[in-house]
């Protein structure tokens, strides 16, 4: 068997065999297949797609390319949660303490920012002292002791995905359903949870811009998860605008504290309640989603979710005074308004641009080794369906570098479409795929 044959087979729309897929993943991981050959195969997959069997084979081969975590020392049903990426998506930071406060064990590995999206681990790193680089035994000990731990993804999980993702990022092959599905599910399968809840984002701030493609990705991942023996459910959420009010690492942690304190924006609260309700169901804590949503809301109202977050911060060496004094988390020097170019109703927001602007002012990385400025970000004042007056602020840029911030103004102004006729607010939850 050789890689050239495999590339030609996919180029000619043939179904790859299990052996061919295993060969590719193994030999690429060992460095025996060149990046230009792997890129060529990725592009053939991007253009010609894959069957369900091929996607499952690719997922399993990638999940076996690194460590497979054993969480059996943690009692109870472990439900992992994963988002395909969004703008202002602080759901993990809110929902995990909420479900943990109801007795669901939370052992969650999360990622860093990718492209124009910010990652949970970068956000948590903005809390003074908080450690996300835990050893596996400390991670497991935390869950056994307080019911929750969040850490950065171990370097050794799904090693082939790491290499392939970096290659996809620079070869125009990210937005492929088989490649995204296998990338996400290989990591989730290797991370050792019993069940998987997926948040598949859809819209101008997501990899999947249309509902048809988001649904297809969700259905593919649900099938793959179930075929791999892990019950999987996907919630398709609307990412046509940032979620909540803030985008940026420290700003999102402060907003998460607000949500857990009962002061959250309705869109974030709704998404957290729905995802939390499905996590409770999967963990065997109740089948009725409406009742479960009430249980989650109740943990916000009675402060138990916030207490659990405080316990998590203390346990992972963070300064838990931030819960009562969020201003202890770093704050940017400047707050620069971006103004509406016309009067009317906001009909569309190019959410990706808002994520990209956060990266441009230092809140994300252009290169893996770049340092992040945790304090910076964007505050979203106007959402789809809101009325605006010409010259009124629609966004605030929170920045430490005034020059870089001002350079984003026209880019951000042009990210809003304002029309004269009335526009409806958007729906947050688009579909549930079980
Ligand atoms: N997130 C992933 O982990 N992989 C992808 O391919 C896209 C989003």
Tokens of 299: 């943990």
Please tell me whether residue 149 adopts helix, strand or coil conformation.
Answer: strand
Provide the strand spans (E) within 65-105: 79-83
CA dihedral 30, 186, 52, 236 (to 10 degrees): -150
| Boundary residue ending a domain (276, 303, 323) | 323
Report the pLDDT value the prediction gives residue 174, as an integer from 0 to 100. 86
Closest CA to 28 of 164, 156, 155: 164
Q: Residue 225's domain spans which residues?
A: 79-323
* DSSP one-letter string for 236-274: EEE-SS-SSSEESHHHHHHHHHHHHTT---HHHHHHHHH
What CA–CA distance (Å, rounded) separates 5 from 416? 48
Report the pLDDT value the prediction gives residue 387, as an integer from 0 to 100. 98
pLDDT tens column, 29-65: 999 999 999 999 999 999 999 999 999 999 999 999 9
Residues 134 and 253 in one domain: yes
Report the pLDDT value the prediction gives residue 144, as an integer from 0 to 100. 95
Please tell me whether residue 344 adopts helix, strand or coil conformation.
Answer: strand
Report the pLDDT value the prediction gives residue 87, as an integer from 0 to 100. 95
pLDDT above 70 (res 384) = yes
80, 183, 189, 209: residue to mutate for ligand 1 pocket, most atoms within 8 A of CB:
183
What CA–CA distance (Å, rounded) separates 288 from 7? 48
Residue of 176, 183, 204, 320 marked catalytic? 183
Residue 263, C-beta contacts closer than 8 angstroms, at least 6 positions apart:
none
Catalytic residue list contains 57: no
Share of the chain above pLDDT 90, in %: 90
Report the pLDDT value the prediction gives residue 390, as an integer from 0 to 100. 98
Classify residue 154 by its DSSP letter.
P
Residue 72, C-beta contacts closer than 8 angstroms, at least 6 positions apart:
none
Domain with 185 in it: what CATH number? 3.40.1030.10
| Boundary residue ending a domain (258, 288, 323) | 323
- The owner of tokens 């990638």 is 62
The answer to the question of residue 429 being in a domain is: no
Report the pLDDT value the prediction gives residue 367, as an integer from 0 to 100. 73
pLDDT level of residue 300 (50, 70, 90 thresholds): very high
Instruction: Determine which of 90-94, 161-165, 262-266 has the lowest per-residue pLDDT on average.
Output: 161-165
What CA–CA distance (Å, rounded) separates 409 from 432? 37
Question: Where does residue 359 fall: left (phi above 0), alpha (psi -120 to 50 degrees), or beta otherwise?
Answer: alpha
Residues 45 and 125 in one domain: no
Tokens of 246: 């803030």
Average pLDDT over every residue of 90-107: 96
The answer to the question of residue 163 being in a domain is: yes
pLDDT level of residue 116 (50, 70, 90 thresholds): confident
Report the pLDDT value the prediction gives residue 404, as an integer from 0 to 100. 96
The answer to the question of residue 72 being in a domain is: no
What CA–CA distance (Å, rounded) separates 386 from 138? 47
The structural domain count of the chain equals 3
The closest residue, in CA terms, to atom 2 on ligand 1 is: 184
- The owner of tokens 């193994």 is 26
The closest residue, in CA terms, to atom 6 on ligand 1 is: 180
Total Cβ atoms within 10 A of residue 54: 20
pLDDT level of residue 114 (50, 70, 90 thresholds): low
Domain with 350 in it: what CATH number? 3.90.1170.30
Residues 134 and 227 in one domain: yes
Residues 306 and 365 in one domain: no
pLDDT above 80 (res 112) = no
Helices (H), 365-430: 402-406, 409-413
Tokens of 278: 């499905």
The answer to the question of residue 66 being in a domain is: no
What CA–CA distance (Å, rounded) separates 148 from 131? 14
The closest residue, in CA terms, to atom 8 on ligand 1 is: 84
| Boundary residue ending a domain (323, 338, 355) | 323
Q: Is the shortest distance between the CB of 173 and ligand 1 below 6 Å?
A: no
What mean pLDDT value characterizes the chain? 95
Give the Å distance between the CA of 333 and the centre of ligand 1.
Answer: 33
Phi/psi of residue 171, nearest 5 degrees: -125, 20
Residues 352 and 265 in one domain: no
Residues 262 and 385 in one domain: no
Report the pLDDT value the prediction gives residue 47, as an integer from 0 to 100. 98
What CA–CA distance (Å, rounded) separates 88 from 379? 10
Residues 319 and 336 in one domain: no
The answer to the question of residue 434 being in a domain is: no
- Of ligand 1's atoms, which has the minimum distance to the CA of residue 168? 6
Residues 358 and 264 in one domain: no
Residues 101 and 24 in one domain: no
The answer to the question of residue 341 being in a domain is: yes
Question: Where does residue 153 fall: left (phi above 0), alpha (psi -120 to 50 degrees), or beta otherwise?
Answer: beta
What CA–CA distance (Å, rounded) separates 303 from 180? 37
Please tell me whether residue 355 adopts helix, strand or coil conformation.
Answer: helix
Q: Is the shortest distance between the CB of 20 and ligand 1 below 6 Å?
A: no
Average pLDDT over every residue of 365-372: 80
Domain with 17 in it: what CATH number? 1.20.970.10
The answer to the question of residue 159 being in a domain is: yes
The answer to whether the beta carbons of residues 107 and 193 sit under 8 Å apart is yes
Residues 34 and 130 in one domain: no
What CA–CA distance (Å, rounded) separates 27 from 41? 13
Residues 100 and 125 in one domain: yes
pLDDT level of residue 179 (50, 70, 90 thresholds): very high
Q: Is the shortest distance between the CB of 84 and ligand 1 below 6 Å?
A: yes
Residues 339 and 319 in one domain: no
The answer to the question of residue 62 being in a domain is: no
């Amino acid at each position: 068997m050789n890689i050239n044959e495999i590339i030609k087979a996919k180029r000619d729309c043939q179904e790859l065999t299990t052996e061919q897929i295993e060969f590719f993943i193994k030999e690429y991981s060992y460095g025996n297949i060149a990046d230009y050959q792997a890129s060529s195969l990725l592009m053939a997959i991007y253009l010609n797609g894959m069957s369900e069997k091929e996607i499952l084979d690719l997922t399993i081969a990638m999940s076996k390319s690194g460590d497979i975590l054993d969480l059996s020392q943690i009692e109870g049903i472990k439900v992992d949660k994963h988002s395909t990426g969004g703008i202002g998506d602080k759901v993990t930071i809110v929902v995990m303490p909420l479900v943990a406060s109801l007795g669901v064990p939370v052992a969650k590995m999360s990622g860093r920012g990718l492209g124009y999206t910010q990652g949970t681990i970068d956000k948590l790193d903005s809390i003074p002292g908080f450690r996300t680089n835990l050893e596996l035994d400390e991670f497991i000990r935390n869950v056994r002791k307080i019911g929750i731990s969040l850490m950065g993804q171990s370097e050794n999980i799904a090693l082939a995905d790491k290499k392939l993702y970096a290659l996809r990022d620079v070869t125009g092959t990210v937005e492929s359903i088989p490649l995204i599905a296998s990338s996400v599910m290989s990591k989730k399968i290797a991370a050792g949870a019993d069940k998987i809840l997926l948040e598949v984002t859809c819209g101008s701030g997501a990899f999947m811009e249309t509902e048809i493609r988001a649904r297809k990705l969700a259905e593919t991942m649900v099938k793959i998860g179930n075929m791999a023996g892990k019950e999987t459910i996907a919630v398709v959420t609307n990412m046509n605008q940032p979620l909540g009010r803030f985008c940026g690492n420290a700003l999102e942690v402060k907003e998460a504290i607000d949500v857990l304190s009962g002061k959250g924006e309705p869109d974030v609260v709704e998404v957290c309640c729905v995802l939390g309700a499905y996590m409770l169901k999967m963990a065997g804590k109740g089948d009725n989603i409406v009742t479960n949503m009430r249980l989650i809301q109740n943990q916000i109202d009675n402060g138990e979710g916030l207490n659990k977050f405080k316990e998590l911060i203390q346990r992972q060496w963070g300064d838990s005074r931030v819960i009562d004094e969020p201003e202890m988390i770093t704050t940017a020097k400047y707050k620069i308004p971006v103004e509406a170019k016309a009067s009317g109703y906001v009909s569309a927001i190019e959410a990706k641009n808002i994520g990209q602007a956060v990266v441009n002012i230092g809140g994300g990385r252009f290169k893996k080794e770049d340092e992040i400025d945790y304090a910076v970000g964007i505050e979203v004042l106007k959402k789809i369906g809101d009325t605006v007056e010409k010259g009124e602020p629609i966004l605030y840029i929170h920045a430490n570098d005034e020059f870089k911030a001002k350079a984003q103004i026209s880019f951000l102004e042009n990210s809003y479409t304002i029309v004269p006729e009335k526009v409806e607010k958007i729906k947050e939850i688009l579909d549930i795929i079980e």
